[in-house]
Structure 1
């Protein structure tokens, strides 16, 4: 039997429908996850898959909730890193000229940040001298980008067509 947490890692699960198999126990089904005899069948599917799982009222809602927790964090992190990458890349041509930051921060900082963000290593990439924890690395990136944008007179980065 697969655990809920293992199944949730397959991808984002969606509840397609709930079927009531009537009060007559003869019409009830067995949960495809835990093999319990179930009246209310939760038909769930992983995004992008064709197989729909028929699982019980205990397994179904828990699976959808755990999946949303796991994949919601992944989506938020990827969205944040993509935004930071766009901000970094728009600074690349501006930072290619004379270095306004002095010797302690060479002109290659944009490339280091871009590499870190492209590899999704904001949690384990040492961006400056010293061993920083993930949140400190992320704060370092955000602060550094903000200072460079201000220095070059850039407006806040906005997403969308034609912006």
Structure 2
């Protein structure tokens, strides 16, 4: 009997600690869906993952997780530039919509990766594409993704994936 109370306190303490400690978000399998005018190369954690030519494309499947770093090298050759990105899980239950608030403009347009310290130092958000050129929405799944671009015709934008970016797909 004298051991029951300390044991219960220990068990309840472990349970309380488990509730307070954030769970590590698991990787989510899925694909990027891309629309670009004119060209985009997508790098994940420093490795080139997908080349998107003019118009729409979908990437090979990958596992995306919080803390992954995405760099998009953008190239515009004619007129204006615009880029839209969506990540959709294979089971269609989760998605990430990317907006201008998701990306920062990298100071080096040739960079394919960055450190967390570098990312904190990038001050400029990607530019939201406005006006007629911001229409139409061309991706195969409805989302909150928006058209974005860097500052100049050839630029790079970067993003760090966070657990909060993964949202339930309510638009099936």
* TM-score (norm. length: structure 2): 0.31
Is the strand fraction higher in 1 or 2? 2
**Structure with greater contact order relative to length (CA < 8 Å, sep ≥ 6):** 2
| Largest Rg, 1 or 2 | 1
Is the helix fraction higher in 1 or 2? 1
